[in-house]
Amino acid sequence: MEFSIETVRLTKAFGAIRAVAELDLRVQPGEIYGLLGPNGSGKTTLMRLLVGLAKADSGEARVLGRRMPDRGLLADVGYMTQAEALYADLTAHENVLFFAALSGVKTASWIGEALELVGLQARANDLVGSLSGGLRRRVSLACALVHRPRLLILDEPTVGVDPQLRVAFWEHFRRLADGGVTLVISSHVMDEAGRCDRLGFMREGRLIAEGSPEQLRQRSGTMDLEQAFLKFAEADHAA
Amino acid sequence: MQPNRVFAIARRLISQIRRDHRSVGLIILVPMVVMGLLGYILRLENQGLAIGIAAEDQGILLPTGARISAADRLMELLGGRDELQVNAVTAEEGERLLRQGELDAMVVLPEGFTQAVAQGDKPRLELVLEGSNPGQKQAVMFALTGALAQGLSAGPTAAERPSVEFETRYIYGGEEYDFLDSFAPVYIAFFAFFFVFLLTGVSFLRERSQGTMERLLATPVGRGEIVLGYMLGFGLFALVQSAVVLLFTIYVLRIHHTGSLALVFLVEALLTVGAVNLGIFLSTYARTELQVVQFIPIVIVPQVLLSGVILPVDSLPRVLRVVASLMPLTYANRAMTDVMIRGLGLADVAAELAVLLGFALAALLLSALSIRRQFV
Ligand SMILES: Nc1ncnc2c1ncn2[C@@H]1O[C@H](COP(=O)(O)OP(=O)(O)O)[C@@H](O)[C@H]1O
Ligand SMILES: [Mg+2]
C-alpha cells in the first residue's frame, strides 16, 4: 500500500527553533488527516515542506510517491495558505481562473464549479478586496481545489468562516475523500477535528499522539479532544 | 486632544524610521549626490564641443612680409576657450568626422576670406553642424560670433569692424529641428524604462507581501515562467505606452522623425526586458512599496542626468562618460536618436542593440536568481 504522504525524520529549523523536528507522518489515500496543535507548533512549516515551498534540513518528504520538492507534482496538489494569498484588485472569478490556469486546468466549467462549491457564484464578479474575511477564505479554498487535485493541503481553512458554511465545508471535504482525494487539514480549533479520520497532535514540531478521534479520547481517558490534547501535551512535557 | 498620544505616535514613527537605515541614508545622501551632479553638469554644459576649422583661404601677405590669415587667428581665439576643442581640418575630412560624430561643427573659411575682411567687405562663412542636437548650434554660434568680434576688429572703431555672414548647413536634421525633436526619442525611451521599472518593482513586492508569491510557487509554475510572464505583461504595457507617447509626439507635438518605427520598438522592447528584470531583482531588497520608490533616485535619476536625457553624453567629462557607459539608457538613447533623427538603419545601431541585449540578459539572470533566493 502506498501512502499519499510519507515523511521520514523530517526536520526544518529556523535558527535555534526547530519548527519541524524529526517528524514521521504517514497519510493514506482517501483519508482526512487533521493536524492539531497550538500556534507555533509547526503545522504551517510541515505543510510548506509537503508542498515543496521549504527545503528540509534533514529527513525527507514523499508526496504521492515522489520526493519533495518536485514542481511537476504540484498539479496534483492543492494548497491553501493560512493567510489568504489573493489578488485584491482582481475579482473572485479572476483569482480562481488565474490559479486554475497555473495548475493546467483545461475545462472552463471547473472554475464556475469551484466557485459554486464554496457558495460564491453570486459574488464571483466582486473584487476580492471588497469581500469580507470569511468570503476571502472561500475564494482561497476555491483556488486550492479548482484543479481537482489528488491531495489537498489546507492550512486552517475554516478560520473566520461562519458555522453554517463550516459545516458545508466539512461535508464537501468528506465527499472529496470518498472520491479518493487525500486531505491534510490543520486547525487549532478542536471541535471540528472530530470530523477527521485520523488526527495528529503537534507540539514543538513533533507528533505527540496520533489516532482516530475516538482512539485519542479513549487513550487519554477524556471526553473531548481539547482535554485529550492537554493530557498528551502534559505527558510530553513531563517526558 | 491628548499631547501624550500625539507624542507617542511621533515617537513611534521616529523609531520606525531610525530602524530603517537605508531610508535615513537616502534622505540625506541622495539629495546631495543629485544636487552635486546636477550643479556639476549644468556648469559644464557644452564642454568638449569639437569644432573643425577648414581654411580654404590662404590669408594675405602684409607689406612687411608677414602673412596673416583669418583662419589662424580664429583657431587661436577659439582654441583659447576651455569649452571648445579646435582642430584644423580639410573640408572633406571635416565632413567625414561630422558624420562619424567626432566633430560637432565645422567652420569653412572660403577662398579670399582674409582679403575680404581686410577690405572691409562682408565675407561669407560656412558653418556645418552635426545637427542632431540644437543646443550645439547656439553654443557654436555664441563662441564663433564672440571670436569674430574680438579677432577681426582690425579697425579702431566699431563701424570699421567687418560683419560676417553665416551660411549654415546641417549634416542631420536641420533648421526646423528644435530641442523637442532631439529630446523626444530620448524621453520615449526614458518613460518606458522608468514606468516599467517602477510597476514591476511594486507589483513584485506586492506579490511577496500579500503571499501570492508563495502561493504561485505551490503551483507547477516555474521561476522562469514567472519572470517571462512579468516580462510579457509589462513588456506589452510598455510597448502600448511607447506607441501612445510616440504617436502623440509625432502627430500632436509634430516632432520630426525619419527612421523606422519598427526599430524604435525593438529598442524599447530590449530596454523593457531590462527594466522588468531590474524591477524584480531590486524588489527583493525592498520590504515596503516606499522602499521600491526609494530605488528611483538610485536607478533612475543618475540615468536621467547622465544618459543623454538632459545633456549629450559627449559633453560630459571623462569620468561621468565612463559612468554613463554602464547605463542601459545611454545606449537606448543613442540608438533612438540614431534611428529617429539620423534615420539610420539596423546595421548602424546593431552595437547599441547588442549592448541593450547584454543588459537585458544580465538583468534576467539576476531576477531569476533573486526569485530562487526567496525559497527557504
Ligand atoms: N520563515 C520563518 N522564519 C523564522 N521562523 C519561522 C518561520 N516560519 C516559522 N517559523 C517558526 O517556526 C515555528 C513553527 O511555526 P509554524 O509552522 O507557523 O507553526 P503553526 O502553523 O503551527 O502556528 C514558530 O516558532 C515560528 O516562529
Ligand atoms: Mg500556521
Higher model confidence: residue B246 or residue B303?
Answer: B303
Mean pLDDT of all residues belonging to chain B? 78
Q: Is A200 in the pocket of ligand 1 (CB under 6 A)?
A: no
Distances (CA, A) of B339 to B136, B160, B211: 20, 47, 44
**Residues A128-146 pLDDT 10s:** 999 988 899 999 999 999 9
Q: Is A158 in the pocket of ligand 1 (CB under 6 A)?
A: no
Element (H, E) at A195: none
DSSP assigned state of A75:
G
Higher model confidence: residue B245 or residue A230?
Answer: A230
Strand partners, A27: A5
Tell me the CA–centroid distance for residue A156 and ligand 2, in Å: 7
Q: Which three cell numbers stand for residue A196?
A: 477527521
Q: Measured between alpha carbons, how far is A104 from A90 in angstroms, rounded to an integer?
A: 20
Contact B335, B267 (CB under 8 A): yes
User: Which residues of chain B does A51 touch, with a Cβ-Cβ cutoff of 8 Å?
Assistant: 218
Following DSSP, what letter does each residue of B136-165 receive, concatenated?
HHHHHHHHHHHHHHHHS--SSSGGGSPP-E
Q: Measured between alpha carbons, how far is B289 from B294 in angstroms, rounded to an integer?
A: 9
Q: Considering CB atoms only, which of B214, B222, B375 is closest to A85?
A: B214
User: Which residues of chain B does A74 touch, with a Cβ-Cβ cutoff of 8 Å?
Assistant: 218-220
Q: Measured between alpha carbons, how far is B126 from B237 in angstroms, rounded to an integer?
A: 47
**Residues B78-120 pLDDT 10s:** 887 777 788 888 888 888 888 887 888 888 888 888 888 777 7
> How confident is the model at residue B156, as a pLDDT?
41
Q: Which three cell numbers stand for residue A139?
A: 475564494
Q: Which of A92-101, B117-126, B307-316 has the highest mean pLDDT?
A: A92-101
Using H for helix, E for strand and C for coil, what is the string for B33-62? Answer: HHHHHHHHHHHCCCCCEEEEEEECCCCEEC
Locate cell 511621533: which residue? B10
Instruction: Write down all domains in chain A, each with its CATH number in brackets.
Output: 5-238 (3.40.50.300)
Cα three-residue angle A214-A175-A158, rounded to 5 degrees: 70
The boundaries of every CATH 3.40.1710.10 domain in chain B are 49-170
Mean pLDDT of the B307-315 span = 77
Q: Is A45 in the pocket of ligand 1 (CB under 6 A)?
A: yes
Interface of B with A (CB under 8 A): 210-212, 214-222, 375-376
Percent of chain B with pLDDT over 90: 6
> How confident is the model at residue B159, as a pLDDT?
45
Query: What residue ranges of chain A have pLDDT lower than 50?
Result: none
Residue type, B240: V
pTM for the model:
0.74
Element counts in chain B: helices (H) and strands (E): 16, 7
Closest listed residue to residue A169, CA positions, set A109, A80, A63, A90: A80
Cβ neighbourhood burial of B280 (10 Å; 0-12, 13-18, 19+): buried
Mean pLDDT of the B151-167 span = 57
Q: Is A83 in the pocket of ligand 1 (CB under 6 A)?
A: no
Distances (CA, A) of A48 to A19, A20, A43, B150: 11, 11, 9, 81
Locate cell 533648421: which residue? B175
Q: Measured between alpha carbons, how far is B98 from A209 in angstroms, rounded to an integer?
A: 85
Q: Which three cell numbers stand for residue A86?
A: 489573493
Q: Do A52 and B376 touch (CB under 8 A)?
A: no
Looking at domain B49-170, which CATH architecture does it have?
Answer: 3-Layer(aba) Sandwich (3.40)
Locate cell 516599467: which residue? B196
Query: Which phi and psi (to 5°) does residue A233 adopt?
Result: -65, -40
Q: How confident is the model at residue B30 (pLDDT cuts 50, 70, 90)?
A: low
Higher model confidence: residue B120 or residue B13?
Answer: B120
Strand partners, A7: A25, A61
User: Which residues of chain A does B216 touch, with a Cβ-Cβ cutoff of 8 Å?
Assistant: 102
**Residues A72-84 pLDDT 10s:** 889 999 999 988 8
Nearest atom in ligand 1 to the alpha carbon of residue A202 is 22
Residue type, A155: D
Q: Which three cell numbers stand for residue B87?
A: 582642430
Please state whether beta strands A151-155 and A77-80 pair in parallel, antiparallel, or not at all (unpaired). Answer: parallel
> How confident is the model at residue A76, as a pLDDT?
93
Q: How confident is the model at residue B33 (pLDDT cuts 50, 70, 90)?
A: confident
Contact A84, A137 (CB under 8 A): yes
Higher model confidence: residue B148 or residue B156?
Answer: B148
